[in-house]
Structure formats: structure tokens, C-alpha cells
Amino acid sequence: MTDHKLPMRAKLATSLSRGAAALSRATGRGDGSVIGGRIALMVDPNLLAELAAGREIALISGTNGKTTTTRLTAAAMGVLGDVATNSLGANMPTGHTSALAKAGATPYAVLEVDEHYLKQVLDATHPKVVALLNLSRDQLDRAKEVAMMAALWRDALPGRDLHLVANADDPMVVWAAGKAVAAGTSVTWVAAGQRFHDDSWVCPECGASIERNGEQWACVAGNLSRPVPHWTVSGDGVVDNTGTYHHIELQLPGRVNRANAATALAVAAHFGVPPAKAVPELSKVASIAGRYAVVERDGRTIRLLLSKNPAGWLEAFDMADDVPTLLSINARDPDGLDTSWLYDVDFSPLRGRRVLVTGDRAMDLAVRLEVNDVPFEHVKSFSQALTLIPPGRLEVIANYTAFQDIRAELDRVN
Ligand SMILES: [Zn+2]
């Protein structure tokens, strides 16, 4: 697909999108991908479909890990040719429109999709592969919303010419994929793990309970159970669908990112990328929009981990090394105003290490840590935390706006 093949209205919308994005960047209002896409879609509501036409596309959706998995998948797909991608996480149709317009003609696109928009983006982009990572609650007790989201996916997926790459360890994902798979859609099951089980104790099909035994899980009453995975994470690597083990050196921490890498490799493999060629590309991916960034300050080596929801906090505890750890919590609009989700998270893995707390809602966090019997120190700011810990390492785990605050503070110090 090249620009000159686009209809006149689409061409106009595309150039408006680029212009608005450039203007938005120039005035310091973010990277411009959302505003540019929004203006373009106003001019031509069909623009996303027109920009997608002629490209082979992979969509990546789920509650957690989609930005990282999108980045890893785009890196793996780069073996084949140019890849358009919404690498800054603008994951709604405006962001997709803007990303494709900005990239110009590319044979491939890898798009992160907000889970609420999956059907809309499926309709517009006709992807070749769709990766379903996981479904869990965001800030609040939204188990009902999780089931609703799974039902939306389940109805959106059948009857399309696509291949699924789906997480065998998440009952909600398996059920969401199940209707399409039963109707003949091909699927690659990845044992990508599930750190947070609280949203999938109840079978979404029949309401009976789901029992777990090691890695296996099954509904006690019906047929829903863990499919046999084609790809698995094993030690420091991944075993592919032919049984071949690939050692993976990632710059990104934790088992959860090895699972994201497994998904990325499985998606790329379906486009014809041999895992052995993709693996070296994955190891080049470092921080993603500041996540996992390692920063040096005053003899301290600081690593930033973003956690947006209960599953994300548990994953961050797995990733964080046993060194002084600063936790920061806000409860502004993008975070959710209610901090009761803190009680969905087991903070006991932090016992035994030096814990500091800060952020607008440090006191809520303090109460929660008391309950879990984790000693802590309260600090007024990130900078104060830096003065209290000895030279060496510091892990920072923060929710969304708290993470942005700390990044801004680091930039100012710079
Ligand atoms: Zn059931």
C-alpha cells in the first residue's frame, strides 16, 4: 500500500493527521498521535481501514503487557521488513490511524489494542494474527467487567480469517477464544502464565468453580479447561511449537517478560519469522516508554517499574530484585480514584527488604503494608527517598501518575 493509492479523502485526512501530530509535538503536547488520529478520523471515518488495507497486521490485546509485547513483536517482525506500530501505547483507533499514517507504506503492522476496542479494530484492520494476552481487573473490583470483556471478545472473534495466539493459562482468555476455535479458527496456545487468579475462580461458561492443580486448571462442572500449550516458557528461554528450546537474553526483567517474548515469537512465527532469527532482535529491546528504565543518580542505580493494576503489582514484585524498594501510589483520574484495590494485592513478598512509601496515597499504602506485616518508611518525595538509601540499587514500583511524577522529577534533576 502506498499513499498515492489512497482515495482523495483519505489522502487529505492522512496529511491532516501528520500536520496535527507535528503541531502537537512542536507545542509540547505529547507525541501527537492521538490528536492527529482524531482529526484524521473526523475527515475520513473509514481512514483506519484504508490505511490498514494491503498490510499484514498483528493485533495485541489484553489487560497487562500489551505495550511490551507489541514492542517485542514489532522487533521480531522487523526481520521480514518494515513494521508500522503504535509504540507509544496510543492504543485506540485514533492512535492506530495516526501510527499507520505516520509510518507510510509498510508491508507489516503490529498494533497494541485497548481491550475495549478489539472488535472495532478487527473490523477495520482485518488482521492476520490476533494475540490475546490476559484479562484481569483494573483498579477496582471489576471481576464482572472482566467477564463482560471476555464475552465481548468471544462474540467478536468468530467468522474471521485470522489466527489466534492466546494464553492457555488464563481461563478468561481461553473462554474468549473458545467460540472462534470451536468454529474452526486456528490457534497457537502459549503458556504465558497468570500471576493474578482472583478474576478467574468462576467458570465464565457455567458459573461453577475453576480448580487449579499446578499449571492445570479446569471447570469442575463443564468442559472449559487448560488447552495443551504449543509454546512454553522454560527457565531463561522458550520452547517453541516444534519442541526446540531458544535461550533468550532480555533486557526486560522477570518471567512475565519472557512470557511476553514467547507470545511475540509465536506471533512472528505465524508470519514466517524463524524464532532463531527473531530472538537476537528481542534482546535489543530495552526500556519501553520509560518502563524498566534504569537511571543513575548520585551513585544510586534506580530502576522504574510501572504497575497499573493488581496483576501488574504482583508481576512487579516478581521482577524487583531484593534491594531497597520505593512504592508510590496516587489516585488521580488515570489511576482510578479508589485505592481499595490495594487489598487485592498481597504485599508479603516485600517482607525482609527495605521498603519506602510515597505518593498522594502513601497513607493508604501504609495501612495496607501494616496489615501484611511489612515494615516501611514514609518519605515526602522520590528525592527524599534517594537521600535516605545508601549508594547502590533502588527499585521503584509506582502506579500510573505516580510513575509519571517520578519520571518528571528525574528529568528535572537531569
Ligand atoms: Zn464451566
Q: Express each pLDDT in 285-298 by its tens digit.
A: 987 777 888 899 98
Give the integer Cα–Cα distance in Å for 328 and 405: 10
* Residue 32 banded pLDDT, cuts 50, 70, 90: low
Question: 176: CA distance to ligand 1 center in Å?
Answer: 13
- Specify the pLDDT at position 347: 95
Name the residue with cell 486456528: 186
Q: How far is the CA of 381 from the centre of ligand 1 (A)?
A: 48
Task: Check residue 338 and give its pLDDT.
Answer: 86
Q: How far is the CA of 179 from the centre of ligand 1 (A)?
A: 14
The pLDDT > 70 percentage for the chain reads 92
Residues linked to residue 358 through DSSP beta bridges, in sequence order = 328
For 335-358, write each residue's pLDDT tens digit: 888 888 899 899 999 999 999 999
- The single residue of 338, 346, 360, 405 carrying the catalytic annotation is 338
- 195 CA distance to ligand 1 centroid (A)? 21
Q: Which helix (H) or strand (E) holds 178?
A: helix 171-182
pLDDT at 22: 67
Q: Are 214 and 230 in contact (CB under 8 A)?
A: no
Do 283 and 141 contact (CB within 8 A), yes or no?
A: no
Interval 102-113 mean pLDDT: 96
Mean of pLDDT over the chain: 90
Q: What kind and span of H or E run contains 248?
A: none
At 27, the pLDDT band (50, 70, 90 cuts) reads low
Question: Three-state SS for 201?
Answer: coil
Q: How far is the CA of 234 from the centre of ligand 1 (A)?
A: 29
Ligand 1 ion: residues within 5 Å (CB): 203, 205-206, 208, 219, 222, 224
**Tens digits of residue pLDDT in 112-151:** 999 999 999 999 999 999 999 999 887 554 556 888 999 9
| pLDDT tens readout for residues 244-280 | 999 999 999 888 999 999 999 999 999 999 999 999 9
Residue 213: predicted pLDDT: 94
CA 265–ligand 1 middle distance (angstroms): 31
Centre of ligand 1 from the C-alpha of residue 174, in Å:
12
Query: Is the per-residue pLDDT at 414 higher than 50?
Result: no
State the average pLDDT over residues 361-380.
95
Residue carrying C-alpha cell 517453541: 240
Cα separations (Å) of 310 from 103, 179, 218, 294?
Answer: 35, 28, 23, 23
pLDDT of residue 114: 94
pLDDT, tens only, 310-319: 999 999 998 8
Mind listing the pLDDT tens digit for each residue in 372-394? 999 999 999 999 999 999 999 99
Per-residue pLDDT of 40-59, as tens digits, reads 777 677 899 999 999 999 99
What distance in angstroms lies between residue 66's CA and the mean position of ligand 1's atoms?
28
- Greater pLDDT, 12 or 312: 312
Is residue 411 flagged as an active site residue? no
Helix, strand, or coil (residue 105): coil
Helix, strand or coil, per DSSP, at residue 221: coil
User: In the 3-class helix/strand/coil scheme, how is the chain assigned residue by residue?
Assistant: CCHHHCCHHHHHHHHHHHHHHHHHHHCCCCCCHHHHHHHHHHHCCCHHHHHHCCCEEEEEECCCCHHHHHHHHHHHHCCCCCEEECCCCCCCHHHHHHHHHHHCCCCEEEEEECHHHHHHHHHHHCCCEEEECCCCCCCCCCHHHHHHHHHHHHHHCCCCCCEEEEECCCHHHHHHHHHHHHCCCEEEEEECCCCCCCCCCECCCCCCEEEEECCEEEECCCCCECCCCCEEEECCEEECCCCCEEECCCCCCHHHHHHHHHHHHHHHHHCCCCHHHHHHHHCCCCCECCECCEEEECCEEEEEEECCCHHHHHHHHHHCCCCCEEEECCCCHHHCCCCHHHHHCCCHHHCCCCEEEECCCHHHHHHHHHHCCCCCEECCCHHHHHHHCCCEEEEEEECHHHHHHHHHHHHHHC
Distance 181 CA to ligand 1 centre (A): 17
pTM comes to: 0.86
Distance CA 231, CA 51 (A): 32
